[in-house]
Structure 1
Amino acid sequence: LAKRMGCEQQFTEGLDEMEWIKRVYEESRQLGTKMGVALPSFEDFWKKGYFLYDVKPADRDFVAFADFRADPETNDLSTESGKIQIFSPKIHSYGYKDCLGHPSYLEPTECLNTPNRKYPLAYMACKSRYRMHSQLDGAVGHYFADIRGREPLWIHPDNASARGIKNGDIVMVKNDRGAALAGAYVTDRVRKDAVVLHHGAWYAPKKMKDGTLLDIHGNSNTLSMDVPTSNLACGNIASSGLVDVVKYTGELPSVYVWEEPEYTE
């Protein structure tokens, strides 16, 4: 793109791919020297493929809050009292019912213990070993994980059998928030009544004949709740919820998210 826009020299700085790798490594090597870590030459590193850092005795024998434990009056903490606290008057003063001033158990919004739950299975959207969140989903790693081009759905043999699902089948995972296609991975590595759909598959919506949107790739965010963890934290809760799984028998759309757009010179 830089070449076509007339700024190739400014973008590449005259370096090719390998020269950029070497340049970044040498910068890291100089930083390592300042930190007391001697990295090997680039040639030796590239030949071996990895470098193991030494663990310093001070790091190996690290003790959390060592200074505070030795002298809590002089080395106070950043809490309201300067000490380790189980109760926070400040958080308590906010009056949030979903985030009290002390450790407490709050019933999950959706879980297998939810009374009269509409959907029978709990799902977990864990991290995939083949990418970093959604990064690199378009790289070759997905070939090792995907089932017929879909994100694998881990499902217990008992739950799969009850639904007529076999290993390698395409299934639809659904709830009131959305639906997604996935490839069934039948395994006892997941507990009964729970399924796992690793998060990060690139979203690939397709409008169905009834007008609804179906993600045809296996994006777990189509199933997750869009509410914060609490009024205080406002974190996301995209990692769990309730779903049902059925065997998909319709026409199987092709996954298009990795296709490059057409362009002309």
Structure 2
Amino acid sequence: TNMGGRLEAHLREVKAAELIRTALRFYEDPEGSLLELARSLGVPVLEKGGTWRGPSGWGYDIVARTLDEKVELVSSQAYLRTLLNDALIDFLARVGVCGASRDEVRECLEAWERALSLSGTFVAQRVWYLFFDEENRRLWLSYIMRKYGLSAEQAEEVLDGIDVLPASKRRPEDTYYTLSARNMTNTEFPNHQLNVHLEYQKKSLRLEDLAEAVRVNWGPESLDLLLKMPEFRKAYEVTREIKAVLLEVGVKGAGELGEEGLRVDEWKSFGPRVKTMRGFTEAYNKFREECLKRAKNV
């Protein structure tokens, strides 16, 4: 399961915070300047200094006391659902971060926004390619037969029982760009199903052009940008141990794969996982409290 939308949201927050922190180094009054940006974005803060508090967009509130924590609050998806925000553009342009003029800043952020929107797609495509691209699939079949003593039919049954599952969609392209006739299941909430359908009704899409969209390179420049982010590389690259297995199988291009992928012991501290679980946990606790309160009343 590839929770692409949650990866994208986290990466956007990381990038926004990086840009804001860089800009603050050029402002004479960093917290005062951040306060102006916060108010422009609708963050519920009243004054400089003290503690700031506001929803994160992940299902929990952020309580910010230090300047760094306040940057995280301002950068959260509750207030910056896209980097193409006029208040952010003005904030960066005033000190020449991401471009020397407002137009250059916008152009820079447009490139980043497109890259971020493809981050989940790139991860789904990589996983699918490593296992289910035609040549790699044949290599895996041979490896499974050789390693586990299975027949060709049994090895086929094993691989046919595994799908890549893109989830947590944010836009129709998240579905259209990951279509494949083999080993791919796109999971859709009803509202996302509707958005996918409405996009098709515009008549700008030809399904025959997207039948194997998972094989298409949707933006090499965008991937190059994302690979500058350590948090993206954790999701997109492999570990040394996984790479060794891929090399043993003979997977195409395995030797060139980066080795900064997320290790098992790092999963508990990975940004999208931390934010998701904190939001789910707080939602559960609130629901539990409400159930107990009603039960006591009865």
More strand by share: 1
Same fold (TM over 0.5): no
Q: Looking at CA atoms only, which structure, 1 or 2, has the larger radius of gyration?
A: 1
**TM-score normalized with structure 2 length:** 0.20
**TM-score normalized with structure 1 length:** 0.22
